[in-house]
Structure 1
């Protein structure tokens, strides 16, 4: 099921997976922004939505990582040096890794805090007993990874702007399906 692509272009599968990860993450980010602005007594549906969307993002990121490792690396656009292209891809790979592991840490945090975990309306049993040390350590780690992926986004975008200025490659290429 390999779909070869020309230099500077992503494969169709890469494009579809990229857009699915991006769109589901944007929805999850909206949820993350809304939760602190919501009254505590009304947060439960947002938390359940957060768990479900987080799982979707994590699964899509894991599939994208599998596809990334399975297929040969795309050729960089002719005007972009290989090292610059590789650095940009490394940032995106790190971002996908964070997305893939963030959900596992989030579930461990939720169970450690004694929260009900509901995925798509189905209550999951607590696989880990309530534990304050676990809640604190996993909660901090979950939050830290959240700040880490925001930092990766900023680096990725800033580096894209640098590549635009230095090498003349367009910013549109930062979107899935555009020139890689």
Structure 2
């Protein structure tokens, strides 16, 4: 948090990184929803888009985590207790952490399943040999983390509603650039 930011406010870079993570993840979520609804023979371009966009989300989340750890912890907005504010930050940090590691697990799963991995039109060689145990373990973990970040979103939003009711903290503060 920079010195010119107010209580509970993010710096400009943190705000931009937050919006980049949010927007790229929403596009990735659309991609995730479309894949099972697409005929198997036509799914490959969606998979390649998924790999590329997943990498972008992962990199932006990792940069955001770096920025998060680099800056001092902000003060909570006046209406929120420190513990309540800290819980919100913990949920968001866990969400960013999942986004940052999900891609690595996804690539290991893809190579273990024998899939071609194409990033931005460039075919990557398989760095890991095809393996059924690897495909199963990493595939389940990749899926479980997907459900985990959806659960984190729900907890974050429900807790935001609770904070609105209990402390009068506005829901707008849950967006990047508002109160952290």
Alignment TM class, shorter chain as reference: over 0.9
Deviations 1:1-28 (A, max 9, x none): 9554110321111100000000000000
Bigger CA drift: 118-127 or 9-18? 9-18
Which sections of structure 1, spanning at least 5 residues, go unmatched? none
Does the aligned pair in 2 maintain the 1:58–1:102 contact within 8 Å?
Answer: yes
The alignment covers a number of residue pairs equal to: 180
Q: Once superposed, which parts of structure 1, at least 4 consecutive aligned residues long, lie more than 2 Å away?
A: 1-4
Q: Following TM superposition, by how much is the alpha carbon of 1:62 offset from its aligned partner in structure 2, in angstroms?
A: 0.2
Does the aligned pair in 1 maintain the 2:102–2:142 contact within 8 Å?
Answer: yes
CA distance in 2, matches of 1:67, 1:124: 29
Does the aligned pair in 2 maintain the 1:48–1:117 contact within 8 Å?
Answer: yes
Q: Who is 1:138 aligned against? A: 138
TM-score by length of 2: 0.98
Does the aligned pair in 1 maintain the 2:35–2:46 contact within 8 Å?
Answer: yes
CA distance in 2, matches of 1:21, 1:106: 18
Does the aligned pair in 2 maintain the 1:14–1:64 contact within 8 Å?
Answer: yes
- Residues 78 and 167 (structure 1), Cα distance of their counterparts in 2 relative to 1, 3 Å cut: same
Coordinate RMSD, CA, aligned: 1.1
SS at match of 1:87: helix
Does the aligned pair in 1 maintain the 2:2–2:10 contact within 8 Å?
Answer: no
Deviations 1:122-157 (A, max 9, x none): 000000000000000000000000000000000000
Deviations 1:38-74 (A, max 9, x none): 0000000000000000000000000000000000011
TM-score by length of 1: 0.98
CA distance in 2, matches of 1:172, 1:157: 11
Q: Who is 1:148 aligned against? A: 148
Matched, 1:62 2:44: no
Which sections of structure 2, spanning at least 5 residues, go unmatched? none
